[in-house]
Structure formats: C-alpha cells, structure tokens
Structure 1
C-alpha cells in the first residue's frame, strides 16, 4: 500500500493534478446540489439534453475558430435551458419529447459540423475529448481553475440564498405560487444554474457523461435519507468523494477520467441501494 501512497504523493506535487482535484471537487459539489432538485422534479433527462446542446455549441465554436469558446457555449446552453425548463405541461408536444428532440438534434448537428468543417486532422480525438472528457481535466490552467472557482461560488451562493424557495417549488409548485413565490423566476434561476454546471462539467466527464454527476449522487442519497436537507448533504458528500476518488484512480491506472468517475458513481449507487434495502428490512 505504501508504494501506491508514495506514487499519489509524487503526483500531487504536479500543479495539473491539484488543479484537476480542485475543479473536480467544485463541479461535483455543484452538480450534486442541483441534481436533488432536478431528480425530484423529474427533470433528470434535462442534463443529457443540455450537455448535447453544449457539445453543439462547442463544435460550432471550434469550427469557427473562436478565441473565447466558453462564453459562447455558456450563452447557448443557458438560452436552451431557459426554453426547456420554462415550458409548461399541456402543450401539443410534451416537455420530455422536446428535451429528447433537442438532445438528439444537437448531438447530430454538432458532429455533422465537426465532420464537414473539421479545423484539424484529428477529428476523432476532438470529438472523443468533447464527448467523454478524455484528459482535458488534466490540462487545466490556473485561469481555468479560477474561472471554475468563481462560477462554482456563484452557484453555491445562489443555492444557499434561495434554498427554501427552491425547496418549496421542488415539492409543490402550485402551493409555492399560491403563497406568493414567483415560481417562473426561480425556475429561471434553476435553468441558468443547470447550464453553468453543464458547461463546467464538460471538462471533467465530457458531454455524454454529465447526467451521471447530476443523477447518481441524488439517487444514492435518496436510498438512505428521508429529508430534503439530508438528501442534499449526503448527495454532496457522495459526489465529492466519487469525483476525487475517480480522478486519483484514473491517474494511477491511466484510465479516462470521466469514465472512471462515472464507474465509481455507479458502484457507489449500488452500495447505497443495497444499504437502503437492508435499512428497509431492519425497519420492518
């Protein structure tokens, strides 16, 4: 065990490893907090839809050789998030169908744009890096980390300030509206936060695996906790532990960072699900 610890200690001396751990921890924390609200409101699939929109925006930015890709991707994803989350039930096309169409369409047009107007000869590498994260999390610069810190701090601040309002519209939107809560405004906040987290997560796990950061921590926490606060805290701890473990394990084994984190998330969910089943048995 000592050689492994020594190896980890040596890797931690490199700035890029510390940058990856800092960014990964913040992204995992923010996505887990938002994930509880999205899962309870049955918006789990929106993470996948918006991640494909982000892939489409990133593809266009790459094709157009834009110097500042992140602002473009963020704006496009925010606008799409607002459109999807502000839609109301009872329309001719159901919200889940719209999310599915946007998801598939964005993925298709993004890849088509990269294929037709590829700015480099390494098309497969560029697409794979965007979709699955590849090693992009290990190539972060200090400015990237500071941007991640600022955006994550903004997300956490908004979540803490409007915790009770988010709680009310998560469980009973009609009651919240009856008590004077501006539901549409808070849904707009959720949409913006979702888009920010999606864009941040692209460097960590890639656009295809972002939903795992949102869904698995929340579902795992729900297996063992009953209250909204308990689920939120447990989800945050679970997500951060899985992200840190995944990054360190991927460095030691040389595996893709995003896939390793998601694999650990899945194993963690299996353990929590089993614990929830045993807890249910013991409570009988």
Structure 2
C-alpha cells in the first residue's frame, strides 16, 4: 500500500482527500441540521456552469466554480428570505439552470463530455499543484469558520426566530452557511465530483448522528468519518483500480450502515439497562 506514496500525483491526491474529507462534513452538519441536505446537489450543478466558464475563458475552473457557486448560494438564500420561494423550488431551479448552463457553455468552449465528466464524477489523481494549493486554502477556510463560528451557526440552523430574538444576525450567518457550502462544493469537485459531493457532505453526518448525542460531538465525529471515507476510498481505488469518487461515497455509506447498526444496538441495550451509559 505504501508504494502509492512513491507517486507524486498520489501524494497530491491524498492531501486533497484530507481537506475534502474534513471540510465537506464540517459544513454538511449545518446543512443537515437546517434540513437543506440537498443544497450540495443544487450548488454542484451551478458549479458546473462555473467550470464551463473557466474552460471558455482560460481561467482555472476551480476559481470560476467558486465564484459562480457562491453567487448561486447567495441567490438561493435571498429567494428563501424575500421571494417566499420554498427551498425545494429554489433548489430545482439551481439543478436545471446549472446543468443547462454548464453544458451549453462547455459546448461553446469546444469541450466534449469527457472533460465535464472529470468534474462531474471527480478526478482526484489529476489534481495539479495549483489545484492543491487552492483546495488547501479553501478547505482550511471552511474548517476554521465552521468550527470557530459553530455556536452562532448552530443557533441559526436550530431555530431562526429564537436566534433573531437573541440578537444573532440570522441573515448574515445564513448567507455565510450557503457560501461555505458553495466553497466546499468546489473543494470536493476534484475528489468525488460535483454529482457526488453532496453525499460526502451528508452521509458522514448521518452516520455520526447514529452514535452521538450532542451537536458538537456529531460535528467533530462527522469530520472524522469524512476523513476516513476520503482516505479509505482513495487508497481502495488505487488498490483495486476503481474510480476514486464513487469508491469514497460507497465507503461512507458502508460506515453509515455499521454506525446505524451499532447505534440501534446501543439504544436497545440502554432501554433494557437504563442505568448503563454507553455513550
């Protein structure tokens, strides 16, 4: 297994997997808490338009994807706040508009489907040094803000009205969550792909919820599970020669299955022996 470290592209891929595995569940925890688990899918489609713009203009696609996805994130929050548009309708518009814009602009840029596939399903082994620097900087930003502002972000996700009465700037933090989600999408697009990134944002959180009780513990455990899934999926894909993105997601789902079984067993034992604390 250690022979993979002999290859520079695999070393870059492992570093990218670390940042992706930590950042995706870090912000995904707040999306799940806010019942916006599918926001990652919508923003992923919008990011595809950003990728296509990068291909058309010659700018690094990861940069244009960050910009376009962030704009899309702000738009969806504004629609939720002011236009009385439900979250599912706003997400549907992101889905359709993003994928249509991406394909159209990519065609104008003279790119074929294979080029878009590397972004849709991930191509972590082709991460360049420049990509890695951008992924590291953005990943650290997401991780630092999601942990540092955890109390405020949790208050907004748990009960907007109570947070507003308590003096928390709900609108500002709501937009921040959406922008951090958009940044995370672009951080992970090379690792698991734009179509699968939402799974890495949601599944580790769902797995963590099976085993933990407090929000903080869930948050940190989800990041740990995401890291294990990302690194485990990358190494497994190297050993058995499969595509990294789907492998990472399947390992995350397997961890969820184990966590769900263990959580159910622990709850059953606690119900039989209330005096025994298994947490």
Gaps of 5+ in 2: 272-279
Give TM-score scaled by structure 2 length. 0.92
User: What is the root-mean-square deviation in Å for CA atoms of aligned residues?
Assistant: 1.7
- Aligned with residue 46 of structure 1, among 35, 39, 42: 39
* Residues 109-154 of structure 1: per-residue CA shift (max 9 Å, x gap): 322443x43524xx23112212111xx2112222322222211222
Rounded Cα–Cα distance in structure 2 between residues aligned with 1:176 and 1:92:
20
Aligned to 1:80: 72
Quote how far apart the aligned CAs of 1:90 are: 8.5
**Is the partner of 1:43 in helix, strand or coil?**
coil
Distance 1:173 1:90 in 2: 15
**Contact between 1:205 and 1:259, CA under 8 Å: does it hold in 2?**
yes
Aligned partner (choices 143, 146, 149) of residue 136 of structure 2: 149
| 1:15 corresponds to | 8
For 1:28 and 1:149, the matched residues in 2 are separated by 12
Match of 2:101 among 87, 99, 109: 109
Alignment of 1:37 with 2:37, yes or no, is no
How far did residue 92 of structure 1 move? 5.1
Query: What TM-score, normalized to structure 1?
Result: 0.90
CA shift in 2, pair 1:104/1:230, >3 Å: same
Question: 1:205 matched to which residue of 2?
Answer: 192
Confirm or deny: 8 A CA contact 1:132 1:209 kept in the other structure: yes
State whether residues 220 and 273 of structure 1, in contact with CA within 8 Å, keep that contact through their aligned partners in structure 2.
yes
The C-alpha deviation readout for 1:6-36, integer Å capped at 9, x for no partner, is xx11111212111111111111101111111
User: 1:68 aligned to 54, 60, 64, which one?
Assistant: 60
Q: 1:259 to 1:224 in 2, by over 3 A?
A: same
Secondary structure of the structure 1 residue equivalent to 2:189: helix
1:122-271 matches, within 5 Å, as 123-133=112-122, 136-271=123-258
Aligned length: 271
